[in-house]
Amino acid sequence: AILAQAVLATSRGSSLVASAAMWAAVRVLPRSASARVRPGPTRTLIFSSVDALATRTAARSCAAAPNPAVVTGAASQTDRARTEGEKSATRGVTAGTYWKLSKGKLTLWVSISALPGYMLALPACVEPMTLAALATGTFLTSASAQTMNQMYELDRDGLMHRTMHRPLPSGVMTMEEARNFAVASGTVGLGILSLGCNPLTAAVSATTMATYAAMYTPMKVLSPYNTHVGAISGALPTLLGFTAAMGTGLAGSPWALHAAWLFSMQVLWQMPHFYALAWIHRADYLRGGYKMFPLTDTTGLATAAMSKPYLVALCAMPVAASAAGLASWMLPVGAAVPSYLWWRALRRFEEHPNIANCRRFFLGSLSYLLATLALFACYARVDREQEEDSASGKQIVPVEPAWRVSLVAQLSELCPHEKMRGDLFGLMRDGCPFDSGKGGAAA
Residue 318 pLDDT > 80: yes
Find the farthest-apart pair of alpha carbons in the chain and give their distance in angstroms, rounded.
Answer: 114
Segment 150-160 mean pLDDT:
92
Most confident of 117-131, 205-219, 426-440: 205-219
Q: How far apart are CA 101 and CA 21, in angstroms?
A: 37
Residue 283 pLDDT:
92
Residue 184 pLDDT:
96
Residue 384 pLDDT:
61
Between residues 11 and 96, the one the model is more confident about: 96
Residue 340 pLDDT:
96
420 band by pLDDT with thresholds 50, 70 and 90: low
Residue 393 pLDDT:
52
Residue 405 pLDDT:
72
Residue 419 pLDDT:
58
Nearest to 11 by CA among 43, 41, 50, 46: 50
Nearest to 67 by CA among 56, 51, 75, 83: 56
- Identity (one letter) of the amino acid at 136? T
- Cβ–Cβ under 8 Å, residues 361 and 353: no
Nearest to 273 by CA among 294, 291, 289: 294
Residue 77 pLDDT > 90: no
Nearest to 214 by CA among 154, 157, 145: 145
Bridge partners of 276, per DSSP, are: none
Residue 321 pLDDT > 50: yes
Residue 62 pLDDT > 60: no
Residue 34 pLDDT > 60: no
Residue 175 pLDDT > 60: yes
- Identity (one letter) of the amino acid at 351? E
Residue 33 pLDDT:
37
**Average per-residue pLDDT for the chain:** 77
Nearest to 214 by CA among 182, 245, 167, 240: 182
Between residues 416 and 279, the one the model is more confident about: 279
C-beta atoms surrounding 79 within 10 Å = 15
Residue 13 pLDDT > 50: no
φ/ψ of 384, rounded to 5, equals -80, 140
Residue 39 pLDDT > 90: no
Helix axes 16-27, 2-12, angle to 10 degrees: 160
pLDDT tens digits for range 79-129: 443 344 444 444 578 888 999 999 999 999 999 999 999 988 887 777 889
- Cβ–Cβ under 8 Å, residues 114 and 237: yes
Residue 380 pLDDT:
87
pLDDT tens digits for range 333-382: 999 999 999 999 999 999 999 999 999 999 999 999 999 999 998 888 88
Q: How far apart are CA 196 and CA 138, in angstroms?
A: 12
Residue 302 pLDDT > 60: yes
Length of the chain as a residue count: 443
Residue 223 pLDDT:
94
DSSP H or E segment with residue 264: helix 256-280
Q: How far apart are CA 19 and CA 3, in angstroms?
A: 11
Q: Which DSSP letter does residue 221 get?
A: T
pLDDT tens digits for range 391-402: 555 554 446 667
Segment 62-84 mean pLDDT:
38
Whole-number percent of the chain with pLDDT over 70: 66
CA-CA distances (angstroms) from residue 29 to 76, 266, 367? 20, 49, 50
Residue 28 pLDDT:
39
Residue 240 pLDDT > 80: yes
Rg (the chain; Cα; Å): 29
First to last CA, the chain: 72
Nearest to 169 by CA among 318, 188, 178, 239: 178
